[in-house]
Amino acid sequence: MSSFNNNFSRRRFIATAGATALGSFLLKACGNPPEDTPKVTSTQAAKINIPADQVPEVTKVKLGYLPIVESAPLIIAKEKGFFAKYGMTDVDISKQANWGAARDNVKIGSSAGGIDGGQWQMPMPYLISEGIITDNLKVPMYVLLQLNTQGNGIAIAGKHKDKGVGLKIDKAKEFFEKAKSDGGKFKAAFTFPKANQDFWIRYWLAASGVDPDADVELLTVPSAQTVANMKTGTMDAFSTGDPWPYRIVQEKIGFISALTAEIWKAHPEEYLAMRADWVDKNPKATKAMLKAIMEAQQWCDNFDNRKELVQIVATKNYYGVAPEILEGPMMGKYDLGDGRKVDDKSMAPLYWKDAKGNVSYPYQSHDLWFLTESVRWGFLPKDSLATAKDWIKKVNREDIWREAAKEAGIAVADIPTSTSRGIEEFFDGTKFDPENPQAYLDGLKIKKA
């Protein structure tokens, strides 16, 4: 902008502002925007101009979350007033004791004291839809938005330091054989079986020639218990979202062998998924919620907001952790505890944009990877691949994301043009082509399928 334009708009602004009481508020807000931005209360939201055809059917929804960085957009959408702004004035963000509890709560729905949806690892919404993890009760769900990428890691107990356990495991066979003869198999935990963290551990091990089903013992432990179990020595490793892996380093219990951002840069992580019956009944409220979360994701993605983000999510109401544990990871600053240090914002949890494009958009090609990986490890029958694309079309409602993004006025450049992000590449050079998942499976050395 030229200095003439600058002066002109400033003069005009002062002239207008001086004329009204509202103006003095604007001036104040202009001087100090983050602190002075008012939270939108329900009464104010009613006054905000929501186009008549976008007014949500309900103002209430109950969303489950887990105390890990993945849930930040949900918490921020509530705390910064984005839900209220789009007319969702009574959103209940409900902390879940663990993933099993989240599954059980979505199975019964909010009318029975459960939840309508919320934060999920993949492919949980698929497994719930087909009754695979809900005692054969099929509860159809829709995947609507990706909450984040990265922000997860694999933590290793301190006694295994300096033994070559890193992103790539030197002399892996020898190491795990020795652990076995030293008193039982190496024990690695994830927070829920057959989902993200299970896949990250398995991928990382198998890439170094370790068979996760034969050479180590894998077990399920809720995030919040992982630190205690590492302390008492009942566990050798775990994978979950921050702040838990970094806490291991901070409390000098161990180190981080691999950040998930190193295993697969800009990998798919966790998602917003809802009961399909809730979405079908409340299509406008669904889009209102999506618009609010998209706005929260853009807010979260801004590194200038990360300090405030940490202050909000770390409180007792949400994660209940010391903010210092989250501050580093949120800025892409990790002391991995084994001498390695990372200081790179592109390695932090990202919520809106990453090197490959939009984070929030739920790519169907990523769902296909999760289903393919499920076949790889024998969690789903081999023939699931033949019907996977139809299954994905039923569960993944990227079409609703697109409609919401359009209503929210998201820049066209931020809206992916394809349901596929294309060929994906992992740290060991393996490639996943969504056009040919069988070729990926065929190329893998360690697998059950």
The residues of the shown chain that bind Ca ion, judged by CB under 5 A, are: 152, 196, 241
Residues in Cβ contact with 323 at an 8 Å cutoff, skipping those fewer than 6 apart: 310, 311, 314
Q: What is the DSSP letter of 39?
A: -
Burial track 111-143 (b if 16+ CB lie within 10 A, e otherwise): eeebbbbbbbbbbbbbbbbbebbbeeeebbbbb
Say whether 188 sits in a helix, a strand or coil.
Answer: strand
Minimum gap (Å) between residue 7 Cβ and Ca ion:
50
- Taking the C-alpha atoms of residue 153 and residue 365, their distance in angstroms, rounded to an integer, is 23
Residue 7 three-state SS: helix
Q: Min. distance of Cβ 102 from Ca ion in angstroms? A: 13
Distance from C-alpha of 390 to C-alpha of 364, rounded to nearest angstrom:
11
Judged by CB, which is closer to Ca ion: 191, or 298?
Answer: 191
- Give the residue carrying structure tokens 């989902």: 195
In the bound complex, which residue of the shown chain has the CB atom lying closest to Ca ion? 241
CB closer to Ca ion out of 226 and 286: 226
Nearest-approach distance from CB 83 to Ca ion, in angstroms = 23
**CB 143 to Ca ion: min, Å:** 15
Nearer CB in complex with Ca ion: 157/201: 201
Identity of residue 423: I
Q: What are phi and psi of 424, to 5 degrees?
A: -105, 150
SS3 272: strand
Residues 6 or more apart whose CB falls under 8 angstroms from that of 40 comprise: 48, 81, 82, 84, 85
Q: Write down the least CB distance from residue 25 to Ca ion, Å.
A: 41
Residue 105 or residue 152: which is nearer to Ca ion going by CB?
Answer: 152
Least CB distance from residue 107 to Ca ion, whole Å? 21
DSSP designation for 305: G
CA dist 435 and 425 (Å) reads: 14
Backbone angles phi, psi at 110, to 5 degrees: -70, -25
Residue whose CB is less far from Ca ion, 56 or 328: 328
CB of 243 to Ca ion, least distance (A): 12
Query: Please, which residue, 238 or 440, has the CB nearer to Ca ion?
Result: 238
**What distance in Å separates the CA atoms of residue 267 and residue 272, rounded to the nearest whole number?**
16
Nearer to Ca ion, 66 or 210 (CB): 66
Nearest C-alpha neighbor of 268 from the set 75, 127, 73, 420: 420
- Of 149 and 196, CB closest to Ca ion: 196
Min dist. Cβ of residue 152 to Ca ion (A): 5
